[in-house]
Chain A
Amino acid sequence: MRLTRVLLSAFSLAGGRSLPMQAEVAPTALGEKKRAEKRTPEERLSRQRRPFRASRLIELIPACCGLLWFVVAFYPLLYMFMSSLRSQAGFYLDNPWLPPSQPTLENYISVWENGFSLYLLNSLFVLVISVALILLISVPAAYAIARMRSRLTRTIFNLFLLGLAIPLQAVIIPIYAIISSMHIYDTLFALILPYVAFGVPLSVLVLVTFIRDIPAELHEAMRLDGASHLQILWRLVIPLSRPALITVTIYESIQVWNGFLFPLVLTQSPEVRVLPLALWSFQGQYAADVPAIMAAVFLSAVPMLLLYIFGRRQLLTGLLAGFSR
């Protein structure tokens, strides 16, 4: 139990403080604006009056370093995208640093026709079922741990926290043995079951910390009105925990979408291939056709890119949820 306490305190110090609602985390332009509004009038004045000084010039140093890292971080991804638009001949003739001389979408079409849509559907199926199951079982568990306190629920909570310390690699062999003996090896359910099991601990942890912060008075008031636990959960806890639910959904979705080890070990046939595994086998299959591979790689990240464009703050908060471990 000492271990779990350690994990908990690590959480409260590291992630907990910033986890529940990280309004100021995401570096959106919106966030910057809010920040600016928060400044007192004096501050704003002093900002405007500040004359041009040497300190402005000094800003050039971090700016240049920032630009340098921009190239390092972004160019590989730009290269991936540019290559995906080259024809196979163009790939060998073009300068790889420059945009394609004759951009074409043929790689995307050929990748799509080579089973990509099936792999996409497989990935989506596993994602939707796994995340739905994780939420379905974690929410009541978190509610019980946060609101029906007893020695039993505390023990259960500690048990879940223990799970945060178990790396996938440590249990992949037994999971393979269990899945085989259940006769679901090489099916999509072979992936869903372990994903759910490994999604539960973090989801419960995030949800418990959040539900605990819901004022007890609200809970008591509903209790006095004769509401059952189920009604409280449905009408009070779930609506109020929306930020935590979104965080958990995003974090677990990323885990499932990008997961590689479980599909690698637990599936085999092309019919049940999910995207990361498909990319890997594309790489072996079309080793000479780099543009096609790059098109597949880029396509596989499109859902994440969309999420980033439309919900950057939620996505980054979701990513940080992993740090609460």
Chain B
Amino acid sequence: MSMSVTVRVAPIRRRPASWPALLWTAPALCFYALFALFPLLVAVYLSFTNWNGIAQAVWIGPANWLHFFSDPLTLHAIGLTVEMMILTWVLQTPLSLLLGVFMAGQQRYRAVLSVFYFLPLLFSTVAIGITWVSILDPNFGLINVALRALGLSSWARGWLGDPGLAFYVVAIVIAWQFIPFHSLLYMTGARQIPRELYDVAEIDGAGRLRKFFAITLPQLKYTIITSSIFMLTGSLTYFDLIWVMTGGGPGYATRILPLHMYITAFMDEQVGYGSVIALVLAISGIALSLLLLRVTGFLRMSSQLEGL
């Protein structure tokens, strides 16, 4: 390592003074520091206090943090969050991948269908939540009306009022909302696969399924990783939809961590404890994406197109 020091013979060209650069970035930095970085520090401070949001915050040391790991409601919320993470990944990934490959196809009818597939992306999460609440309505909703018409009245139920069902129903709606997004990513990925690979496979007499498993799937490896990272870390931020659809209920059935944080801090007025949950969310999000990057070897940047 000391070698590198002695090698530096030629004087490094003097860099231009950096103060103009500072001036140019200053406005952006100010906003960003005040409302993104500084709050993170404040959150750390608040997590060691007892505060109801109005009176003076009182320093209480690590009590909130200790409480976090023994509070049964929090542990329940952590469990639900992990479950939600896995469930939404399993629901979304195969469908998004197939849809993306489907849309990447050249056929005219596929292009037309794609136009409709993306429509859910245009609506806010609140709009989607409200619409689904109405679709799932026990009396007049689409689902139960259809079930009754098909003679399956016994299957009709209050989908969001049943503590055993609400969680899964919410997961399905989340998948419905985000599948267009991820399939868009897969479509982009699939379109970048070189045609030559398919031409060669065709010469070798490979069928459609064979081509899908031997070419498309391996070539989409990085897209799968990227999309999965967004799905998994994204599931730590599901708030709007669940808040609108169930408010975390019935009981605590859909109270995943982001909702638990909001309810604790802003409704139960335990701001200090809420800050602990918020920080745990932030840390697990960052840790999760780093872990996934490491585990999948994403950083080795090996070429996908080797041998071409």
Residues of A bordering B, CB below 8 Å: 3, 6, 9-10, 13-15, 17-18, 22, 24-25, 27-29, 31-32, 35, 55, 58-59, 62-63, 65-67, 69-70, 72-77, 79-80, 83, 91-92, 95-97, 133, 136-138, 140-141, 143-145, 148-153, 156, 159-160, 162-163, 165-178, 193-194, 196-198, 200-201, 204, 229, 257-258, 260-261, 264-265, 275-277, 279-280, 283, 290, 293-294, 297, 300-301, 304-305, 308, 312, 316, 319-320, 323, 325
Distance A140 CA – B237 CA, assembled complex (angstroms): 31
Bound form: Cα–Cα A115–B20 in Å: 47
Q: Is B261 an interface residue (CB 8 A)?
A: yes
Contact A312–B18 (Cβ < 8 Å): no
Give per-residue flags for B13-38: 1 if the beta carbon is below 8 A from chain A beta carbons, else 0.
00110101110110111011011111
Q: Which residues of A contact B229 (CB under 8 A)?
A: 10
Which 5 residue pairs spanning A and B have beta carbons closest together? A197-B35, A170-B282, A174-B39, A258-B124, A174-B42
B171 touches A (CB below 8 Å): no
Given A144-B24, A160-B32, A32 contacting B135 (CB threshold 8 A): no
Q: Say whether B125 contacts A258, CB under 8 Å.
A: yes
Q: Which residues does chain B contribute within 8 Å of A14, judged by CB atoms? A: 222-223, 226
B4 CB-CB contact with A under 8 Å: no
Is B120 interfacial (CB 8 A cutoff)?
A: yes
Contacts of A152 in B (CB 8 A): 18, 21-22
How far does the Cβ of B291 sit from chain A's closest Cβ, in whole Å?
Answer: 11
Q: How far is the CA of A316 from the CA of B243 in the complex (A)?
A: 27
Determine whether the beta carbon of B299 is less than 8 Å from that of A6.
Answer: yes
Which A residues touch B298, using CB under 8 A? 9-10, 13
| Chain A hits for B185, CB < 8 A | 320, 323
Evaluate contact between A66 and B25: CB separation under 8 angstroms.
Answer: no
Which listed segment binds A: B63-71, B108-116, B153-161? B108-116
Chain B positions within 8 Å of A137 at CB level: 27-28, 31
Question: Restricting to B206-260, which residues have a CB under 8 Å from any CB of A?
Answer: 208, 222-223, 226, 229-230, 236-237, 239-240, 243-244, 258
Question: CA A189 – CA B137 in complex, angstroms?
Answer: 37
Asked whether A260 and B278 contact (CB < 8 A) given A28-B111, A140-B25, A319-B181, the answer is no
In this complex, what residue of A is CB-closest to B114? A27
- Complex: A63 Cα to B120 Cα, angstroms: 21
Residue of A at shortest CB range from B118?
A316
Contacts of B146 in A (CB 8 A): 97
User: In the complex, A279 Cα to B119 Cα: how many Å?
Assistant: 19
Question: Is B164 interfacial (CB-CB < 8 Å)?
Answer: no
> B224 → chain A, closest Cβ, in Å?
11
Q: In the complex the two chains form, is A80's CB within 8 Å of B43's CB?
A: no
A260 contacts B117, CB within 8 Å? no
Is there an interface contact between B35 and A153, defined as CB atoms closer than 8 Å?
Answer: no
A148 in contact with B20 (CB, 8 Å): yes
Output the nearest chain B residue to A11 by Cβ-Cβ distance.
Answer: B226
Whole-angstrom distance between the Cβ of B83 and the nearest chain A Cβ: 19
| B130 on the A face (CB < 8 A) | yes
Judge whether B131 and A77 touch: CB under 8 Å: yes
Interface-central residue, B108, B123, B289, B299, by most chain A CB under 10 Å:
B123
> For the complex, is B168 an interface residue (Cβ under 8 Å from A)?
no
Q: Is the interface of A mostly helix, strand, loop or mixed?
A: helix
B265: Cβ under 8 A from any A Cβ: yes
A171 contacts across to B, CB distance below 8 A: 35-36, 39-40, 43, 278, 282
For A97, what are the chain B residues with a Cβ–Cβ distance below 8 Å?
A: 142, 145-146
A95 touches B145 (CB 8 A): yes
Tally chain B residues at the interface, Cβ within 8 Å.
106
Question: Complex: how many Å from CA A18 to CA B244?
Answer: 34
- The answer to whether A308 and B226 touch across the interface, beta carbons within 8 angstroms, is no
Least CB distance, B254 to chain A, in whole angstroms:
16
Q: Given contacts A32-B106, A137-B28, A201-B32, is CB(A178)–CB(B39) below 8 Å?
A: yes
Q: Is the CB of A174 within 8 A of B123?
A: no
Give Cα A135–Cα B188 distance, bound, in whole angstroms: 27
Is A29 a contact partner of B226 (Cβ separation < 8 A)?
A: no
Give chain A residues whose Cβ lies under 8 Å from the Cβ of B92. none
* Nearest CB of B to A181, in Å: 10
Q: How far is the CA of A149 from the CA of B20 in the complex (A)?
A: 11
Given contacts A148-B24, A165-B285, A204-B28, contact A300 B124 (CB under 8 A): yes
Give the distance to chain A from B211, nearest Cβ to Cβ, in Å. Answer: 12
CB distance from A306 to the nearest CB of B (A): 10
Interchain nearest-CB distance for B47 vs A (Å): 9
Closest to A325 in B: B230
In the complex the two chains form, is A174's CB within 8 Å of B40's CB? yes
- What residues of chain B lie closer than 8 Å to A25, measured between beta carbons? 184, 187-188, 191
> What's the Cα separation between A137 and B29 when bound, in Å?
9
Interface pair A290/B222, CB less than 8 Å apart = no
Having A3-B286, A160-B28, A170-B40, one finds 11 other A-B pairs with CB under 8 Å, namely A3-B290, A27-B114, A74-B119, A77-B119, A77-B120, A137-B31, A167-B282, A171-B282, A173-B278, A264-B243, A297-B123
**Contact among A18, A35, A66 for B102, CB-based, below 8 A:** A66
B103 CB contacts on chain A under 8 angstroms: 27
**Contact, CB under 8 Å: B116 / A163:** no
Given A143-B24, A258-B125, A280-B244, A169 and B222 contact (CB-CB distance below 8 Å): no
Beta-carbon nearest neighbor of A136 in chain B: B27
A271-B208 Cα distance, complex, nearest whole Å: 58
A150, B257: Cα distance in complex, Å: 41
**Complex contact B126–A10 (CB within 8 A):** no
A79 to B: closest C-beta gap in Å? 6
For residue B281, CB closer than 8 A to chain A, the reply is yes
Nearest CB of chain A from residue B288's CB, rounded to whole Å: 10
